[in-house]
Amino acid sequence: MKILFCTNTFENVVNGPSKFANYLLEINHRFQHVEIRILTEDISTDSLAQYKNKVFRLDLKLNFHTKTWGFVYRMFPYYQACLKVRAEYMFDMVVFNNAITGIWSAIKFNLPVIGMINDDNSASISWQNFDGSRRWFRHFIFKFFERTAFVFESGIIVNSHFLHDLLSGIYRPEPSKLQILHKGIRINGPRPLQLPSLNAPVKILFVKSDFKRGGLFDLLDALNLLKDISLELQIVGPKLIHKQEVLERNNSANVMINFIGPASEEVVNKLMLKKDFLIIPARQEAFGVANIEALATGLSVITSNVGGIPEVMDSGKNGWMIVPGNPQALAKIIKHAIENPQERLVKQQNGYDFVCQNFSYEQVLNRFLEILEGYKP
């Protein structure tokens, strides 16, 4: 089986889809009967040589007008690039990291085209949550294209049971077209055997580019309620243009904020090793890769019980989950977690074991190929 995987993110590893794309080339070493190549716009010409012709570069530059509708616009240049690649690499099927980008290829190619939907941003748009924003209209249009992807593409892969059930109810595809593939990570650290003392101040990490969706303001409001605890919050993900807005939300002298902004996977992993808690009280989340990464490093996790997060947190056995949008409840949980070290250790160990058993990248690769075998021509 020869696979071509198309992704708009690859070299700049900053989110779940790009992390997934980044370890797919391991398939070439682990499986004798399978080959995979990557087609991406996100790789420099200087980096191509190290991949030994296993990564193809699409020279694609988006401008102000095309960037907003990028996933739709990409349909056509990615299809043309696939045609060029096929002259060199005769693939049996194409997988797109974004299902919308794969629609035109699914229409034109006489071979299986599989798409991936990695979040519920578009599917959850409705007239009930209309706010007149540019973002709402953008995802309203994308919702139409996601529905179209289910019509023309051979299959759609989603990253959680939550997203599977949501899309099944909204788009009503044939059951055989919708598959679940949890995202995975590389697990390098040891299982936590003892609990180190908390830092002074207690060090908290927040990781989410869409900080409002990630519940950052709820977290700040909760920390401001903990007047008797010295706290340090490092914020990773939001663009620097939002720094002042975030800093102005902090009105407590006991909370020190370090606003880092967007950061690489390597930087985030290093930060996790130095922190006491990862806290992302998300208001909306299809899966939550950052929670998995934190559990794999033995970091205590406090999050919310929305979307696919309970699948990662094993319904609370691996950390603490709260109802989102309630800073008072969040503050109580943070205080409880700080004051109960033995409970922290148990949840850290549960989380590490759970990630090893369910979310290692080796398991994800096996499941990925199992899914594709079902669509093989």
Is the confidence at residue 112, as pLDDT, over 90? yes
Residue 190 falls inside a structural domain: no
366 and 352 belong to one structural domain: no
Q: What is the pLDDT of residue 325?
A: 94
- Record the tokens describing residue 368, joined without a space: 């990925």
Is the confidence at residue 155, as pLDDT, over 70? yes
178 and 232 belong to one structural domain: no
pLDDT tens digits, residue range 174-194? 999 999 999 888 887 788 878
Q: What global pTM score does this model have?
A: 0.91
In the chain, the amino acid numbered 280 is I
253 and 146 belong to one structural domain: no
Please choose, from the candidates 125, 121, 129, 161, the residue with its C-alpha nearest in 3D space to the C-alpha of residue 309.
161
- Rg over alpha carbons for the chain, rounded to the nearest Å, is 21
48 and 179 belong to one structural domain: yes
209 and 336 belong to one structural domain: yes
Instruction: Domain count for the chain, please give it.
Output: 2
Going by pLDDT thresholds of 50, 70 and 90, the confidence category of residue 68 is confident
Cα 3 from Cα 92, distance rounded (Å): 6
Residue 213 falls inside a structural domain: yes
Residue 303 falls inside a structural domain: yes
Q: Any idea what the CATH number is for the domain that residue 243 is in?
A: 3.40.50.2000
214 and 93 belong to one structural domain: no
Contact 149, 102 (CB under 8 A): yes
229 and 144 belong to one structural domain: no
Residue 265 falls inside a structural domain: yes
263 and 170 belong to one structural domain: no
Listed ranges 38-47, 258-267, 318-327; the one with the highest mean pLDDT: 318-327
Q: Could you tell me the residue range of the domain that residue 118 belongs to?
A: 2-184+360-373
135 and 8 belong to one structural domain: yes
Residue 189 falls inside a structural domain: no
Work out the mean pLDDT of the chain and round it to a whole number.
92
Contact 130, 159 (CB under 8 A): no
295 and 175 belong to one structural domain: no
63 and 179 belong to one structural domain: yes
Residue 194 falls inside a structural domain: no
163 and 20 belong to one structural domain: yes
